[in-house]
Structure 1
Amino acid sequence: MTAFENLYSRRSIRTYNGEALTDTELKEILKAAYAAPVGRKKYETLTLTVIKNKDFIERWDKITAVSFGDPELHPLYNAPTVILISSVVNEAPQDNVNYSNAAIIAHNMTLAATALGIGSCLIWGAVRTLNVEPELLHELNIPDGMRPCCAITLGHTDEIFEVRDVEENRIKTEYFN
């Protein structure tokens, strides 16, 4: 698979078949996280938390579903693994580099998962739940001064990854010459 085939076949996978990732697969996905660019090389401002504890994932999923107003929802999609990206976050709105770092790390991991034929999905709303539920957050031992920014779900899937046509103007693009 070429880099472009990987980009054009990556998509959000929300159905998992229950098969856990192997240690080798997880290690490869984490290696992609470590390869991500980080502003000013401040790697110490980031923490990855690999969550495989089924009980915790189910409780987090349920609390998030209730907060979304739909207790039947599964915002973590029954994924066997979730990787949470936390960072030191500045309150100044113009200083979003730490959120950007977290998002780039998450995206690198989703691309690695795609290359391995593993399903992944970027998660934002459920992360908000962690930030307002101190009991859940405490269980994860997130270092002091860090805040969960985003996460990805991971798991084997029966869905097929196919290269898709990408609409060229789906994002407004302005040129300044």
Structure 2
Amino acid sequence: MQKKDLKGSFILRTIDAILNRKSVRTYTGKPVSDADLKQLLKTAYASPVSMGEYSHLTLTVVTASKWLQKLDQNAQKTFHTDKSMLYGAPLFIIVSTKLQGTPADNGAYSNAATIVENMNIEAVELGLGACHIWGVTTALAQNHELMREIKVPDGQTPVAGLVVGETTEAYTPRNIPMDRINTIKLT
């Protein structure tokens, strides 16, 4: 059910944004507004982080076409494809974190995934397309020179990302199967 904001416009409830969310892979190329970027980053900053270690994380906000192209080309080379892995989105937010090479890294990966998902849901609420990106960050993590060029801090590794932008695709209610994930109840 939609509700009205203070100005009388209809807005999505968070549950609607979650249930209607999908991976958007087509973008108009129009830049994301500063106000929308600020809101996306605010949801990232509101994310829960293991042990409150926010200093172990860095967000790299990429809007310059030069850098978007360079990151995309690096991924295409790594994965031997000629298809864009950033889908022409005008904004790519990369999450980098400290990894230890131990099972404790699960927390670091979970932190990054939570940050990306918070921004993803906010993108839906803002009416923007978004897609969680793994391949480009994986390729970036293998290219130490490119990591230095885009100023990923020493000791951190890019582990997740989100592309965002205006799209012509629509978010519509999805039928979510209640048996989609194996669920065990202990009662």
Shared fold per TM-score greater than 0.5: yes
Could you report, residue by residue, the CA deviation over 1:70-100 in whole angstroms, capped at 9, with x for unpaired residues? 22x1111011110000111121035410110
CA distance in 1, matches of 2:23, 2:75: 19
**Contact 1:90–1:96 at 8 Å: present in 2 too?**
no
Matches within 5 A, 1:19-30: 19-30=30-41
Counterpart in the other structure of 2:159: 149
* Bigger relative contact order (CA 8 A; separation at least 6): 1
Structure 1 residue 116 and structure 2 residue 126: aligned? yes
Per the alignment, in what secondary structure is the counterpart of residue 166 of structure 1?
Answer: coil
CA distance in 2, matches of 1:109, 1:94: 24
Counterpart in the other structure of 2:186: 176
Counterpart in the other structure of 1:36: 47
CA distance in 2, matches of 1:43, 1:66: 32
Unaligned residue ranges in structure 1 (runs of 5+): none
CA distance in 1, matches of 2:105, 2:32: 35
Counterpart in the other structure of 2:22: 11
> Cα distance 1:95–1:65, how it changes in 2: closer, same or farther (>3 A)?
closer
Matches within 5 A, 1:77-92: 77-92=87-102
TM-score by length of 1: 0.96
Counterpart amino acid of residue 46 in structure 1 = L
Per the alignment, in what secondary structure is the counterpart of residue 96 of structure 1?
Answer: helix
Matches within 5 A, 1:23-102: 23-71=34-82, 73-102=83-112
The RMSD of aligned alpha carbons is: 1.0
Per the alignment, in what secondary structure is the counterpart of residue 85 of structure 1?
Answer: strand
Unaligned residue ranges in structure 2 (runs of 5+): 1-11
CA distance in 2, matches of 1:70, 1:149: 21
CA distance in 1, matches of 2:129, 2:154: 31
Count of matched residue positions in the alignment of Structure 1 and Structure 2: 176
TM-score by length of 2: 0.91
Counterpart in the other structure of 2:3: none
